[in-house]
A = this chain, B = another copy of it.
Amino acid sequence: MREQVIINDVGPRDGLQNQGQVLSVTERLQLIKAIRASGLDHIEVGSFVSPKAVPAMAGTGSVFAGLAQVGAGHYSTLIPNMRGYELARDAGVKTVVMVLYGSEGMARKNVNMSREQADEVTEAILLQAQGDGIAVIATIGVAFGCPFDGPVDPGLVADVAGKFLGLGANRFVLADTIAAANPLQVRELTQRLVTEHGASRLGCHFHDTRAMGLANVFAAIESGIRYFDASIAGLGGCPFATGAGGNVATEDVVMMLEQMGFITGINLDALMVASDLAQQLTGTAPGGRSKAWLKPWLARQSAACAD
């Protein structure tokens, strides 16, 4: 029996936020609509952060309001604090994404808090959200390595995972924010977490900056992980290495999973349309690295079907 894997497209949030071009609300909705049209139904549509700090995410409330025209789906938004949570809740968001940290350095740099303070903020919001009937995805940034503090202790990550899964977080996602992970490390940490908590509430988020994106996805698949963040057209650069790739591209991940016999429920032809649009709208999205192969291959497949 073919197993299912969930792909959560973070392009409209993580992707757009990490590149220069600021898209209009209409353009952001256009992109989300194209992604959703491929069958991909888990999408991170934006974040409720200060528009001053992150201009690309201004107007996320309007994007959320516009989702009615896109159709049903599992839409989430990122929130950095209680204020963001309240804005998201008032906008009708049903799933919020919170960020925890694998290192002191990144917590300080990103939200000017200690790691423990960030934990406390997330815990308070988690309790509030449970009362409000809103789902919480807890993502731990720099889960494998930090640009400021170096390698991250897997024991610490396992402790944070245990704590938030214990508190009832709907999902706990290991994010390799700066592409520090190698597949051996991924296999070891994911194996440990799957053994301790089962795989159903776990997920992974990889970047392809060092060309190991798909190797890391495969390593996590081997451990039983069945939920992955990915970004349409690889949207989102790497702030720590100019010219280097950012998020692992949705089309690359979907292609590999489908080739390995997993079900993603995503149509690759339609995903190419969304990927082209992401490249067109931003001018910065590199496009999945398999795209040069994928497009002619898909064309041949449909030609064969038409015969």
Q: Which residues of A approach B to under 8 Å, CB–CB? A: 179, 182-185, 187, 208-215, 217-219, 222, 238, 241-245, 249, 252, 255-256, 259-261, 288-290, 292-294, 296-297
Contacts and interface: CB of A to CB of B under 8 A. Distances in A.
A179 B210 contact: no
A297 B238 CA distance: 14
A209 B293 contact: yes
Contacts of A179: 293
A210 B260 contact: no
A58 to B, nearest CB: 30
Determine how many copies of this chain the complex contains.
Answer: 2
Contact of A217 (B215, B260, B261): B215
A211 B242 contact: no
Contacts of A288: 211
Given A185-B260, A209-B290, A215-B215, 17 more contacts: A182-B256, A183-B215, A183-B260, A184-B260, A184-B261, A187-B222, A209-B293, A210-B252, A210-B255, A211-B213, A211-B249, A211-B289, A212-B290, A214-B215, A222-B222, A241-B296, A289-B289
Nearest to A213: B211
A257 to B, nearest CB: 9
Interface hub of A179, A185, A238, A259 (most chain B Cβ within 10 A): A259
Interface hub of A218, A222, A241 (most chain B Cβ within 10 A): A218
Contacts of A210: 252, 255-256, 290, 293-294
Contact of A214 (B187, B209, B211, B292): B211
B292 A244 contact: yes
Nearest to A178: B293
Given A218-B215, A256-B212, A242 B182 contact: no
